Amino acid sequence: MVQGKVPETGGAVPLYGERFEGATEELFREMRREHGSVVPVLLEDGEPAWLVIGYREAHQVLADSRLFSRDPYRCNGPDYVPPQAVGYTPGMLMSLDGEVHARRVGAVADALAEVDQFQLRGDCERFADRLIDTFAATGEIDLMEHYAYRMPALVMGGMLGLPDADLLGVAEDMKIMSNGREDAMDAYIRFTGVMARLIEAKRVQPGQDVMSRLLGYDTGITDEELIHDILVVISGSQDNTANWIGNTLRLMLTDDRFALTLSGGRSSVGQALNEVLWEDTPVKAAPGRWATRDTELGGRTIRGGDVIIVGLAGASADPRVRSTVHGDSGGNHAHLAFGTGDHGCPHPAPELAEVIARTAIEVLLDRLPDVRLAVPEEELQWRPAFHVRGLAALPVRFTPAYVVEHG
């Protein structure tokens, strides 16, 4: 196996294990103290990499996709095997670069830009009500499994033009794929089957939906490539928006500032959503980049071919920006939660995600006004993944509500 060059500095920090699963603030402080803004790390498979935790340096990497490419082969040659831990999938939208990437992600962005946000809000309310109907009478539920995860996939499926009958199945399959267990391949095969049928149906009878718009553009991509792009769109939206909903609900259910206004304070939902993007951001590390030539970053010498991981959570915690944000993170939008540059979360996806997350939380608080944690806060478990900040479960209790079916 041909590897990226080993970072020169000794004492690389292992980027896995229990310390990366919970609160990482102290760990980032320690790394910053010992290594500065660009930290030599070891990935789980023993491969060396650089973790960028400086805000300015993170911007530099994300904004310069020529120097810091998503294509690992440009510098490392065709025999290179990219480390699994950095999220590289050949041919997928997120792993492409240059003109092909710009064309494909541009089509996705254009199709999403035509979504009517007023109608989206209505759809989100309908889906939220429908999900809450399934558990409102029970008095307790795990909100991650039965609400936060399902909302984004239902909404995105609806936006794509999927028939109602397929929505819950796709939501379930996306969750199975994101767990990465042995049943993931079956879920992937079912997903591609559903999408192939949708493409066929929309070719015959186009509608006011994202899939019909994508088919109408002259992007020159095959149906298989289109299905892969859709997979990136739905998986990007599902996991990230689900964790945004979950982390915000956790904040609101555990922090007195929000508890005081839980049933009445609508403005606090927006504040909590934004605060989470600074403090508990759903994507802790962006997918890997590779340096296309020798360069310098944050005082370090980076060799062409080195693996670079941008720690979005670490960069947002950089004291050089935190000192100006502190105490006002609810109103400051300069975080890196959505990345930036060519591969950043494409406009208008962040806005759509906010409509989904905000509506999910507002409808939940309207329907179940006394919702509260069913376990002490310390017992909430984070998913064991360095690149994701999301709860394994969010068990809550509430007064059982009489259900009028919302259809």
Task: Provide the binding-site residues for ligand HEM, judged by CB under 6 A.
Answer: 62, 93-94, 105, 108, 232-233, 236-237, 240-241, 244, 282-283, 286-287, 312, 337-339, 343-346, 349, 352-353
Of 171 and 353, nearer to ligand HEM (C-beta) is 353
Q: Which two tokens stand for residue 175?
A: 């969750």
Whether the Cβ atoms of residue 316 and residue 337 lie closer than 8 Å to each other: yes
Of 300 and 343, nearer to ligand HEM (C-beta) is 343
Of 161 and 287, nearer to ligand HEM (C-beta) is 287
Of 158 and 339, nearer to ligand HEM (C-beta) is 339
Estimate to the nearest angstrom the gap between the alpha carbon of 179 and the chain centroid.
14
- Minimum distance between the CB of residue 156 and ligand HEM, rounded to whole angstroms? 6
Spatial distance between the Cα atoms of 77 and 39, rounded to a whole number of angstroms? 25
To the nearest 10 degrees (0 to 180), the angle between helices 184-204 and 164-179 is 150
Of 309 and 368, nearer to ligand HEM (C-beta) is 309
Spatial distance between the Cα atoms of 85 and 382, rounded to a whole number of angstroms? 18
Spatial distance between the Cα atoms of 296 and 303, rounded to a whole number of angstroms? 9
- Minimum distance between the CB of residue 248 and ligand HEM, rounded to whole angstroms? 10
Spatial distance between the Cα atoms of 268 and 273, rounded to a whole number of angstroms? 8
Residues making up the chain, counted from first to last:
407
- Minimum distance between the CB of residue 242 and ligand HEM, rounded to whole angstroms? 9
- Minimum distance between the CB of residue 276 and ligand HEM, rounded to whole angstroms? 8
Which residues, other chains included, contact 394 with Cβ-Cβ below 8 Å and sequence gap of 6+? 142, 143, 144, 148, 246, 249, 250, 373, 380
Of 42 and 232, nearer to ligand HEM (C-beta) is 232
- Minimum distance between the CB of residue 61 and ligand HEM, rounded to whole angstroms? 9
- Minimum distance between the CB of residue 353 and ligand HEM, rounded to whole angstroms? 4
Q: Which two tokens stand for residue 30?
A: 């320690």
Of 181 and 333, nearer to ligand HEM (C-beta) is 333
Spatial distance between the Cα atoms of 146 and 137, rounded to a whole number of angstroms? 14
- Minimum distance between the CB of residue 102 and ligand HEM, rounded to whole angstroms? 9
Of 98 and 193, nearer to ligand HEM (C-beta) is 98
Of 269 and 368, nearer to ligand HEM (C-beta) is 269
Omega before residue 348 within 30° of 0, cis:
yes
Nearest residue to the partner ligand HEM, using Cβ:
339
- Minimum distance between the CB of residue 204 and ligand HEM, rounded to whole angstroms? 26
Report phi then psi at 310, rounded to 5. -90, 115
Whether the Cβ atoms of residue 252 and residue 267 lie closer than 8 Å to each other: no
- Minimum distance between the CB of residue 237 and ligand HEM, rounded to whole angstroms? 3
